[in-house]
Amino acid sequence: MMQAVCVDVPGGPENLLLRSVPRPQPKDGHVLIKVHAAALNRADLLQRRGLYPPPPGESDIMGLEVAGTVDTLGPALRRPWKPDDRVMALLSGGGYAEYVSVPEELLMAVPSDLTFSQAAAIPEAWLTAFQLLHFIAQVKEGEVVLVHAAASGVGTAAVQLVRLLGAVPVVTAGSREKLRVAEKLGAAAGFNYKEENFVQGVHDFTGGRGADVILDCIGGCNWEKNVGSLAVDGRWVLYGTMGGRSVEGDLLGRLLSKRGHLLSSLLRSRSRQYKADLVKAFSHRVLPHFSGQPASLRPVIDSTYRLEDIAEAHRHMEANRNTGKIVINVLPQNEEPTD
């Protein structure tokens, strides 16, 4: 048996229950991970409320990314994993628990410079940002990329990845403090969407041309400003609808006038092969940059909670108080990295 967070009735954070459940057994091609740390994502809040169920056949337990150690090796593995290897993993569910079974192709070795808490902040957020920029938008060197919610987990990853790809990040966020964090990570310009017109800011920064790419997790309420910010032939990539799903007005006409590309993507519902290809590309192109002196990439941690305090962690995210990732320490953490 193991401890895991369960939801019997969809609703608020108070409906999150820590209880004993059967420990999963690794199937063919799977590895059982002893979870040291997991991290929160907006998808977890939706699932808790009954609005974002896991894909068919996946665990009902929330949690889309973890870091820990290899506990048990399933049959028919192709890679030389060993017990106690330090790993992090992209999940479709199951992370809010002491153990999780993961297909081996979704595992990544934890860079030696990172703690488990730092590593847990990487898989979902950074793979999402990399997917949006590299697979979906196909960002090119020198392009201007507008990143909304720049202080979120995906946002802080995206700003750094835009720089890594040789492009130029400009950002929006809801406070001067969050903009300062994004600027320290490499944002060339930042706009407080609560106090200023980011459309004008983007046009001033680009000399009137607009952003080549927009990473948008807001959706409905921002559509006019997004189209207004978009360069001719630009790509607007939608990956969330925190600002609503409904659109009123001449979206199609305005987008057509810019010859704009409206793209959308989710990661959780992708096929196992797609995720495996994404993990392989990320491991090759991005993961090495988390190591070395000085490392050029770093996960941004807002706060850490114990597993038994998961409800408070959800409240913290729902209040939009976090800058970077919220991490759940499932085991007591020795925060010194080990080689």
What is the model's pLDDT at position 334?
57
Both 173 and 214 in a single domain? yes
Both 130 and 110 in a single domain? no
Both 156 and 118 in a single domain? no
Show which of 229, 248, 264 is a domain's final residue.
264
What is the model's pLDDT at position 177?
95
Q: What CATH number does the domain containing 161 carry?
A: 3.40.50.720
- pLDDT tens digits for 290-316? 987 676 999 999 999 999 999 999 999
What is the model's pLDDT at position 338?
40
Show which of 239, 264, 289 is a domain's final residue.
264
Q: Average pLDDT for consecutive 10-residue bins of the chain (339 residues)?
A: 96 97 96 98 95 92 97 96 97 97 97 95 97 97 97 96 97 95 97 93 97 92 90 96 82 92 92 95 96 84 96 96 95 56
Both 148 and 248 in a single domain? yes
Both 211 and 296 in a single domain? no
**Phi, psi torsion values for 186, nearest 5 degrees:** 130, 0
Q: How many domains is the chain built from? A: 2
Both 164 and 216 in a single domain? yes
What is the model's pLDDT at position 3?
97
Both 14 and 103 in a single domain? yes
What is the model's pLDDT at position 300?
95
Both 131 and 224 in a single domain? yes
What is the model's pLDDT at position 245?
80
Both 38 and 100 in a single domain? yes
Both 143 and 257 in a single domain? yes
The Cα 173–Cα 190 span in angstroms is: 8
pTM metric for this prediction: 0.92
Both 130 and 210 in a single domain? yes
Q: What CATH number does the domain containing 299 carry?
A: 3.90.180.10
Nearest to 165 by CA among 213, 201, 121, 202: 213
Which structural domain, as residue segments, surrounds residue 190? 126-264
- pLDDT tens digits for 136-172? 999 999 999 999 999 999 999 999 999 999 999 999 9
What is the model's pLDDT at position 223?
87
What is the model's pLDDT at position 333?
66
For residue 47, the SS3 value is helix
Nearest to 42 by CA among 299, 161, 218: 218
